[in-house]
Amino acid sequence: MGALDGIKVLELARVPPAELPGMMLADMGADVLKIETPDADRPRGVDAERRSAFAFVNRNKRSLTLNLKAPESQAIFQRLATGADVLVEGFRPGVMKRLGADYETLRALNPRIVYCSLSGFGQDGPYRDFPAHDLNYISLAGVLGLIGERDRRPVIPLNLIADYAGASLHGALGIVLALFARQRTGRGQHVDVSYLDTTVSLLAATPNMRFFFSDGVAPRRGEGFLGGSYPYYAIYETRDGKLLTIGCTEPWLWENFCKAIGRPDLARFARRPDQFVRAANAEEEAARREIEAIIKTRDRDEWYERLVKADVCVGKVYDVEEAVHDPQVNHRQMIVEAEHPKFGKVRQFGIAIKLSETPGVVRHAAPLPGEHTDTVLEELGLGAPEIARLRARGVIE
């Protein structure tokens, strides 16, 4: 039994960050029906089908193609929404209203529906209708300007911040909170998730921002104890040209590190309270250079084993091929296999949330677009002649 068994979810999303919340719900047992638009330009053939099967964010879902610009499709969608618990959509504000599928319309049909909108800037405000992507959100939130070294341009991170840690995870949490509230009130509600809002919220939680509102002290790129300029929180190159991360922000852990490299005298460079927003000074930079020379005397894996035994916060900078073979990653079942009717075993990343009583399950790989169209329409009571007519009219694919 899954934690969300019996919960029916409709998903209208064209980008992975808006698809991830549905996958997280599906992993926990929800019946997630992905509504896809018929697309004549979509890649076809065996290679396209194989890549589709490996689409992480679409696993455990069913797929229905529906041309929501057609009135007949809108009527079908509204019938589906009447029996749904959750709807997840990732369009710009106003699009769903044009499709006859906005919150007010669906709430009138189904007052219990939890309607989650993931949009760049939210459902209101001066930026509401602007287009943007992760890079734009993190720049506007003040995050990008803090990533990288001093006196250089910011470093562009992967789209993990606004897209996934921001919108996706907050969207999934917002849906679960609204479902919990519905248990008490009997009513659904609109969950309005903004990529920009969630990025600002994530930044606010960082140590660099701790004294901004209280003391007016603003962090700057490459400064602060997490900025990479201090010896106790840095990336070091090893003898074999690989990289090692040291994250000893607690004085006792830094002392362990200094003893392990044979330099207990460097323990005096442990983190101090005044380092929240300033960069390392000349003496601290010199200490880091000394440590760089020491770390280059051994290979990465040799240092790792030595430092782990010394109770030091240390990590290897893996490439992806190494990461998926890491023993801890595999012990925690973060690399799994899903069944696919055509391609057999499909490797996937696993489920990060481990529930002891109702664990999530990867039941099957991602569906092909429209794979369940006929089945879903039959569940609504449509017969084969009606389904064939809809397909001929371009309502479904």
Is 163 annotated in the active site? yes
Q: What is the 3-state secondary structure (H, E, C) of the chain?
A: CCCCCCCEEEEECCCHHHHHHHHHHHHCCCEEEEEECCCCCCCCCHHHHHHHHCCHHHCCEEEEECCCCCHHHHHHHHHHHHCCCEEEECCCCCHHHHCCCCHHHHHHHCCCCEEEEEECCCCCCCCCCCCCCHHHHHHHCCCHHHCCCCCCCCCCCCCHHHHHHHHHHHHHHHHHHHHHHHHHHCCCCEEEEEHHHHHHHHHHCCHHHCCHHHHCCCCCCCCCCCCCCCCCEEEEECCCCCEEEEECCCHHHHHHHHHHCCCHHHHHHCCCHHHCCCCCCHHHHHHHHHHHHHHCCCCHHHHHHHHHHCCCCEEECCCHHHHCCCHHHHHCCCEEEEEECCCEEEEEECCCCCCCCCCCCCCCCCCCCCCCHHHHHHHCCCCHHHHHHHHHCCCCC
Catalytic residue, candidates 31, 85, 163, 197: 163
Is 133 annotated in the active site? yes
Looking at the chain, how many residues does it have?
397
The two tokens of residue 220 are: 């700057």
3-state secondary structure of 36: strand
The residues annotated with a catalytic role in the active site are 133, 163
